[in-house]
Structure 1
Amino acid sequence: MPNANKRIIFLIDMQSFYASVEKVANPELRNQPIVVAGDPERRSGVILAACPIAKTYGVVTAEALWQAQQKCRQLVVVRPRMEMYIRISTQITQIFEAFTDKVEPYSIDEQFLDVTGSVHLFGDPIQMAKQIRCRVWLETGINCRVGIAENKVLAKMACDNFAKKREEGIFWLKREELSDTLWKLPIEKMFGVGSRMKRHFHRMGIYRIGQLADLRPAVLIRHWGVNGEVLWRTAHGLDDSPVSLNVYDTQKGIGHHMTLPRDYHTAAEIKVVLLELCEEVCRRARSKERMGSVLSVGCRGADLAAGTGFGRQMKLAEQTNDVMTLYEAACRLFDRHWQETPVRSIGVSLEQLVPDNVVQLNLFTDNHKSRLLAHAMDDIRARYGPDAILRAASLLSAGQAKERARKIGGHYK
């Protein structure tokens, strides 16, 4: 039984979520290797999810579709249906809420649960995890895995490194047993360590999580500042963050990024997309009653190997959620830093958000009229769809607004 003074946190992950949903919806696919992938003709042919059968051929998430098809010739490719995935994810959240009122979505297929106050109603943590897995399977047909620990970071590592590799799909990672479990794993298995950080650690002679845990915090702080202490705490399984129901209520920034269907070569066609991105960012800012004072623009070049592109930000003269104000500033950033190389993707974000109910008056421009017009356009789009009213530039061949209106999160509904 758990220590009465410790929290009991679950991280529950849906196995191959998109692919699993598709197999439930199409039983004839149950025994076939399937992947959910974007449209290769629009350069979004990337594997979003691969079922366990496809993974036995070496197919992995995030690789190019053509690479996966070379590994498995009989691969079945299914285009994503995001509305259905969101609906099933919401259904799963409601199942979790029958076990605890503290549920925090981490992604569309992962959620944290704090079951400290309710675990006694279902036996011990292992028995509770079994009941949750059973109910999710019976109601959705999806297999889930459960990492159990005393905090969120340990629960995440319990799920990723242990529960996913066990037939029962459950693992309880205890801090007092880290030397026999987590510390034996390669350093890249630790939460927060990506490929670049892995290379840094290897240059320092650190190959296992246990070696990192043996270091003094000061050594890591000297290399990475505050993040060095975070890495040390993660290695020791220390995390005080709560499972929060309103974790996304206080956004620090609002951004939108787009991978283009082809390489864009001219400033004119790139600025069409730049305007559409500013439109979407400002619409979302207004919907949250926020405006921002820092603009970021990022471009990635078509030549990934050469690493062309840029990412820059600027402080605006005043807080805004006005499209043309943001667009004019974005064009200045773009003109200043673009090296006239082909562009593969582009993004815009608005940061340092504040409530939009207090506005600096301007003697020379009628901001009130432009705000009324923007909200009127928002109302039309909310009622009749995102492409019900468009700027004329979006009707040009470079425009992507009409195509994006058919999608959720960059994928078809």
Structure 2
Amino acid sequence: MILLVDIQSFYASVEKARNPELKHRPVVVSGDPNRRSGVILAACPIAKSYGIKNAETLWEAMQACPEVVVVRPRMDLYLKISLQITEILERFTDLVEPYSIDEQFLDVTGSERLFGDCDTISRKIQQAILEEAGVYARVGIGPNKVLSKMACDNFAKKQKRGIFRLDETNIKEKLWPLPIGDCFGVGRRMTKNLQRIGITTIGELAQYPLAKLQKHWGINGHVLWMTANGIDLSPVTRLSFQKQKAIGHHMTLPRDYRTAEEIEVILLELCEEVCRRVRRHHLAGVTLHVGCRGADFDCPTGFSRQQNLGYAQNETMPIFQAAKQLFHQYWDGAPIRSLGISLGGLSADSPMQLDLFTDRSKQRALGQVVDEIKQRYGSTAILHAASLTSAGLAIERAKKIGGHYR
């Protein structure tokens, strides 16, 4: 039996647990409380009762509830609490798989003799997390990960008890009547695509001819059909993040970047960050991906392209030169608002492919020294001079975790 444990309004709940004065007040966590255009990262249940939703602007939230309390995010604290919750869950089973900062899967198949049935284990988990971390957990129960996820999202979150079980005995009665947009893995665009061919509920997706779904969307169509039928063969494992297919970094820019010189500064900082992470895992990548999004949201522009580097690399400057060339090959010259790169085709960085024209051993040694300095003294202890220009963001980003201030 698989559980999906989700923390209610995680960021806002942590803030209320740390400040009892906020217990009965509407609270939202906003990326930038000083700007009315800031985005709501989390809203407590009281705030949601006023119609406030995650991802809307702070201005919209304050229109709906003028007395709302706005709190700046503290990512260090949220990560600490998330790890504390993981430790609590590991008392019940050694098979705990983090899905996000506030969601974790557990396989408790072998734990029922010790702690009781799934319902009993779920209540014990809720109680332990509430007593020790001060936040409330909802629990979805199912025979696999996809059903436990949909049990939590569609039912446990909407019930006072916060626990719901979804399996072959009630999937047709409970899950199939729901709108197609409530199916895990179906976003807004896919919802429209499915509605276009007459699929409006999860049950209609489950009963739709599989061959036709495969013809429309290939493997993705097959996976959606399996999801609607409650089929998921992926196990709960602690190894989910130990073997990465790619390592990348994407950045939404604070303003429109218009010139090649400005954009190249950000591209260099991204290459430095990605290569540092790749080196930290003793890996190298052979596939470089570069993508950007234009600044005009009404008329979206941008591209997403990749190229083979010839051999696995993790040195910053050669990868930066390749990324710069790839960017200029496809950039239309319009201002951009986001930029990202990634290295794929990862393999062990030893042995190293030699180059007749470049001393790669010196480049690699330089990268190791830079990494050691940053590891010891902080990510801003040594910088490229370009990061000190007005276009550079490395110093400001060092103050943040996941794009938000620590």
TM bracket (short chain): over 0.9
Tell me, what secondary structure is at the counterpart of 1:350?
Answer: strand
Q: Name the counterpart of 2:136.
A: 143
Matched, 1:365 2:358: yes
Matched, 1:350 2:343: yes
Q: Name the counterpart of 2:279.
A: 286
Distance in 2 of aligned mates of 1:223 and 1:89: 40
Partners of 2:6 and 2:103 within 8 A in 1: yes
Distance in 1 of aligned mates of 2:63 and 2:267: 36
Matched, 1:335 2:328: yes
Moved more, 159-168 or 51-60: 51-60
- Sequence identity percentage: 58
Q: Name the counterpart of 2:268.
A: 275
Q: CA deviation at 1:295?
A: 1.0
Matched, 1:58 2:18: no
Q: CA deviation at 1:44?
A: 8.2
Distance in 2 of aligned mates of 1:188 and 1:392: 48
Matched, 1:204 2:197: yes
Cα distance 1:139–1:91, how it changes in 2: closer, same or farther (>3 A)?
Answer: same
Moved more, 146-155 or 72-81: 72-81
Aligned with residue 169 of structure 2, among 149, 163, 176: 176
Q: Name the counterpart of 2:86.
A: 93
Tell me, what secondary structure is at the counterpart of 1:225?
Answer: helix
Q: 1:375 corresponds to which letter in structure 2?
A: Q
Q: Name the counterpart of 1:315.
A: 308
Matched, 1:111 2:104: yes
Q: CA deviation at 1:128?
A: 1.1
Q: CA deviation at 1:41?
A: 6.7
Q: Name the counterpart of 1:156.
A: 149
Q: Name the counterpart of 1:237.
A: 230
Distance in 1 of aligned mates of 2:349 and 2:34: 41
Matched, 1:39 2:32: yes
Q: CA deviation at 1:42?
A: 8.3
Tell me, what secondary structure is at the counterpart of 1:270?
Answer: helix
Q: CA deviation at 1:404?
A: 0.7
Q: CA deviation at 1:364?
A: 1.5
Q: 2:355 corresponds to which letter in structure 1?
A: N
Could you give the per-residue CA deviations for residues 266-307 of structure 1, whole angstroms, max 9, x where no partner exists? 110111011000000000000011111111111111111100
Could you give the per-residue CA deviations for residues 307-338 of structure 1, whole angstroms, max 9, x where no partner exists? 02221111113211111111111111111111
Partners of 2:292 and 2:338 within 8 A in 1: yes
Cα distance 1:34–1:259, how it changes in 2: closer, same or farther (>3 A)?
Answer: same
Q: Name the counterpart of 2:377.
A: 384
Tell me, what secondary structure is at the counterpart of 2:263?
Answer: helix
Tell me, what secondary structure is at the counterpart of 1:176?
Answer: coil
Q: CA deviation at 1:40?
A: 6.4
Aligned with residue 213 of structure 1, among 199, 206, 211: 206
Tell me, what secondary structure is at the counterpart of 2:176?
Answer: helix
Tell me, what secondary structure is at the counterpart of 2:256?
Answer: strand
Q: Name the counterpart of 1:5.
A: none
Q: CA deviation at 1:340?
A: 1.6
Q: CA deviation at 1:120?
A: 2.2
Distance in 2 of aligned mates of 1:44 and 1:276: 26
Partners of 1:122 and 1:128 within 8 A in 2: yes
Matched, 1:226 2:219: yes
Partners of 2:33 and 2:71 within 8 A in 1: no
> What's the TM-score once normalised by structure 2's chain length?
0.98
Q: CA deviation at 1:221?
A: 0.8
Tell me, what secondary structure is at the counterpart of 1:329?
Answer: helix
> What's the TM-score once normalised by structure 1's chain length?
0.96
Q: Name the counterpart of 1:260.
A: 253
Distance in 1 of aligned mates of 2:337 and 2:139: 38
Distance in 1 of aligned mates of 2:289 and 2:63: 38
Partners of 2:37 and 2:59 within 8 A in 1: no
Q: Which runs of 5+ in 1 are unaligned?
A: 1-7
Partners of 1:43 and 1:260 within 8 A in 2: no
Could you give the per-residue CA deviations for residues 155-178 of structure 1, whole angstroms, max 9, x where no partner exists? 000000000001000001121221
Distance in 2 of aligned mates of 1:319 and 1:244: 28
Could you give the per-residue CA deviations for residues 331-358 of structure 1, whole angstroms, max 9, x where no partner exists? 1111111112111111111111111112
Length, aligned pairs only: 406
Moved more, 61-70 or 274-283: 61-70
Moved more, 266-275 or 314-323: 314-323
Q: 1:141 corresponds to which letter in structure 2?
A: G
Q: 2:218 corresponds to which letter in structure 1?
A: G
**Alignment RMSD, CA only?**
1.3
Q: 1:260 corresponds to which letter in structure 2?
A: L
Q: Which runs of 5+ in 2 are unaligned?
A: none
Q: CA deviation at 1:133?
A: 0.3
Tell me, what secondary structure is at the counterpart of 1:313?
Answer: strand
Q: 2:370 corresponds to which letter in structure 1?
A: M
Aligned with residue 122 of structure 1, among 109, 115, 131: 115
Aligned with residue 74 of structure 1, among 37, 42, 67: 67
Partners of 1:38 and 1:44 within 8 A in 2: no
Partners of 2:27 and 2:70 within 8 A in 1: yes
Q: 2:326 corresponds to which letter in structure 1?
A: L
Deviating above 3 A after TM superposition, structure 1's stretches of 4 or more consecutive aligned residues are: 40-44
Partners of 1:276 and 1:394 within 8 A in 2: yes
